[in-house]
Amino acid sequence: MSFLSEPIGLSHYLAVGAFLFVTGVVCMATKRNALGILMGIELVLNGAIVNFVGFACPYFRDENLGLDGHLIALFVIVLAAAEAAVALAIALNFYNNHATIDVDRADELKG
């Protein structure tokens, strides 16, 4: 159990961020429900937030992002909220018009 007694580094935070990102991408690629795709996007944005805060932490490195990392993470959270509102409105509109939220059926703009 030697890994429990030594302090964690920036790598651990970046690994968690990478895992959340990849999980979100897989979720976006495999779901057929439009709301499931939205949840995948939320996971991807969370991976970005974890990375920014990890780089901003003064505990890990001496030359860190500092306050800039925290502020960019805040802007990412606000943008995620806005994106969820618009995408949910689009999904509900699609459901009203077509009585389905299957993204495979949303092929009216197919070239």
- As measured in angstroms, the least distance from the Cβ of 111 to another protein is 22
Least Å distance, CB 92 to another protein, is 5
What's the rounded Cα separation, in Å, for the pair 86 and 7? Answer: 42
**Least spacing, CB of residue 107 vs another protein, in Å:** 16
Decide whether 56 or 108 has the Cβ nearer to another protein: 56
- Per DSSP, 6 falls in state S
**Phi and psi at residue 32, in whole multiples of 5°?**
-100, -20
Of residues 22 and 107, the one with the C-beta less far from another protein: 22
d(CA 61, CA 47): 20
Cα-flanking dihedrals φ and ψ of residue 5, to 5°? Answer: -100, -15
Q: Residue 110 Cβ, how far from another protein at the closest point, in Å? A: 19
Alpha-helix runs per DSSP H in the chain: 10-30, 34-56, 67-98
Residue number, 66 or 108, with CB nearest to another protein? 66
